[in-house]
Amino acid sequence: MVASNNNNKDKKSIMLGVGLNNEDEHKRITKGDNFYLVGGSEESHERMTETAIKVNEKLSSKGKSLDDISQKEFVDIIREVSDE
């Protein structure tokens, strides 16, 4: 077994979105604060982008980051911004 010198403070949570419905062969990649999005049709990639931005806005309004919230909180935020 190898000892790890990694500290938890070095870890950073991100949202990863993967769109699988691309039929036009266009390569779509979007990177932002706390997220990486790849693939998808123009419509689905745009929706992933809008969702990721809204999640970041919600987190910012609460004074939190992805690292500060639980999985349940994350799912609740996703549901909330998806309904907007």
CA dihedral 5→64→32→44, nearest 10 degrees, is 120
What are 16-66's pLDDT values in tens digits?
Answer: 999 999 989 899 999 998 999 999 999 999 999 999 999 999 999 999 999
Asked if the model's pLDDT at residue 1 lies above 70, the reply is: no
In degrees and rounded to multiples of 5, residue 15 shows phi and psi of -95, 135
Count Cβ atoms below 10 Å from residue 77 Cβ, excluding itself: 21
E-strand stretches of the chain? 15-19, 29-32, 35-39
Q: What is the pTM of this model?
A: 0.82
Q: What per-residue confidence (pLDDT) applies to 12?
A: 87
Q: What per-residue confidence (pLDDT) applies to 11?
A: 76
Between CA 9 and CA 35 the distance in angstroms is 18
